[in-house]
A = this chain, B = another copy of it.
Amino acid sequence: MFEKILIANRGEIALRIHRACKEMGIATVAVHSTADEEAMHVRLADESVCIGPPPAKESYLNIPAILAACEITGADAVHPGYGFLSENAHFAEILGHHGIRFIGPSPEHIRLMGDKIAAKQIARKLNLPLVPGSEGAVKDVAEALDFAKRVNYPVLVKAAAGGGGRGMKVVRRAPEMAGAMSAAAAEAKAAFGDGTLYLEKYLNKPRHIEVQLLGDPQGRAIHLGERDCSLQRRHQKILEEAPSPALNEKDRERIGRLAARAATKLGYIGAGTMEFLYTEEGFFFIEMNTRLQVEHPVTEMITGVNMVREQIMIAAGASSGIKQRDIRQRGHAVECRINAENARTFLPSPGEVRAFHPPGGFGVRVDSSVYEGYRIPAFYDSMIGKLIIHGQNRTECLMRLRWALKEFVIEGVDTTIPLFQELLEEADIINGNYDIHWLESWIAKRQDNPQNGDAA
């Protein structure tokens, strides 16, 4: 096992990693920018090294500085957390050259999955379902109708050279095809000088469902169930839950097994997540993240598996020992990302936290690096903590979330706590009836109708 792990991250995830290390008897090194001198994990770590000025590219993304910090502290492994260098194959490689273990998958797997086109090709080989698309350009309407018939309507006509929605048309029935294609071709020609079109199945109201995977050092992967992360704003997840309210046991089992089998075929080692879009017509692979996810705690809450511990075990070459049959889900979990942002305008709100009182009690977990008197720096992302609630079932979970949000006191900065309180009043949220577009359209409606939200 490792003697000393350097935590190449900041904020709540740095603290999360520190705690996991302490449980395993491993010493920790916090590296930090000058803006994070007062950060909680810096204070708690066994050692800390300032690696640069506030801008991330000069500190948290500064590979030479992090390597030098490994050298002067003698760390034998680096946990990259999420974001920053966590999916940087080059970093993983360099660490390897210096004899330092990167706690994550192999550089090859990182690189492969980092290239979105290569990842889809691999996914196809691994029999993962992809959003059906025409093989290259479609010549004419007949071919397009043929494709649409095969994959079922609606389909999306897209400009091969396209982008930004131009040259893109949704076709819901066969009679619309010819018109849509000529319109799209004309638009594409005008915009990009190229009228070539291709077709893709159009997913109407997809949900974002992701499967948590763990590949052991022998390359046998298991899955830890799915998370539903459909509530997003500008592609940022806001609230995640597990299990997904949209899946039945059969679908859950199926996608889990499919993903785990694919990861095993891939020889994937470490923690990873396969992301899918899900509609009534099934699952469609989007991409694979080769790192710990922000939302890993919801999986921890229902499976009881300590994800960070598993990552460390696997990186050390030790078999985690968990078999697929050991994974049993208990209850329901929801995570709310607490951002230092205005809950209505989403404007960031850095500054001093003047009061901090997290909720406690049964089924309540707070992962946060904030404390009273802490100054939230303006240099990094606005997430300052996560409120994770576990309950015997989804209803208990949401009821508990309600009082926990009410008891959560953060003063001095704006937070997204009121946003979640508002969301919990929405029937669609209570019923689990939402897709990846739901939150943005709800926000748009709320902004049109400002007095609605004032009660929250």
A contact residues vs B (CB 8 Å cutoff): 15-16, 19, 22-25, 44, 297, 300, 304-306, 309, 330-331, 355-358, 360-368, 371-372, 391-392, 396, 399-400, 402-403, 406-407
Contact = CB atoms under 8 A, between A and B. Distances in A.
A23 B399 contact: yes
Contacts of A309: 396
A368 B357 CA distance: 11
Contact of A365 (B19, B357, B362, B406): B362
A369 to B, nearest CB: 9
Given A19-B403, A396-B23, A400-B23, A364 B362 contact: no
B304 A330 contact: yes
A272 B364 CA distance: 25
A361 B355 contact: no
A391 B363 CA distance: 14
Given A19-B403, A331-B304, A358 B356 contact: no
Contact of A364 (B22, B365, B392, B406): B365
Contacts of A23: 391, 396, 399-400, 403
Given A304-B330, A306-B396, A399-B24, A19 B371 contact: no
Contacts of A297: 362
18 contacts: A16-B361, A16-B362, A19-B400, A22-B402, A23-B391, A23-B396, A23-B399, A304-B331, A304-B392, A309-B396, A355-B372, A357-B371, A358-B358, A358-B360, A360-B365, A360-B366, A360-B367, A361-B367
A143 B312 CA distance: 65
A358 B372 CA distance: 11
A368 B360 contact: yes
A361 to B, nearest CB: 5
Contacts of A365: 360-362, 364
A179 B363 CA distance: 59
Contacts of A407: 44
Nearest to A307: B362
A25 B399 contact: yes
A19 B362 contact: yes
Nearest to A322: B392
Nearest to A331: B304
Nearest to A22: B403
Nearest to A400: B23
A361 B16 CA distance: 7
Contacts of A24: 399
Given A44-B407, A361-B366, A372-B372, 13 more contacts: A19-B361, A19-B403, A23-B403, A44-B406, A305-B392, A306-B392, A355-B372, A358-B358, A358-B360, A360-B365, A360-B368, A362-B365, A364-B365
Contact of A306 (B305, B358, B362): B362
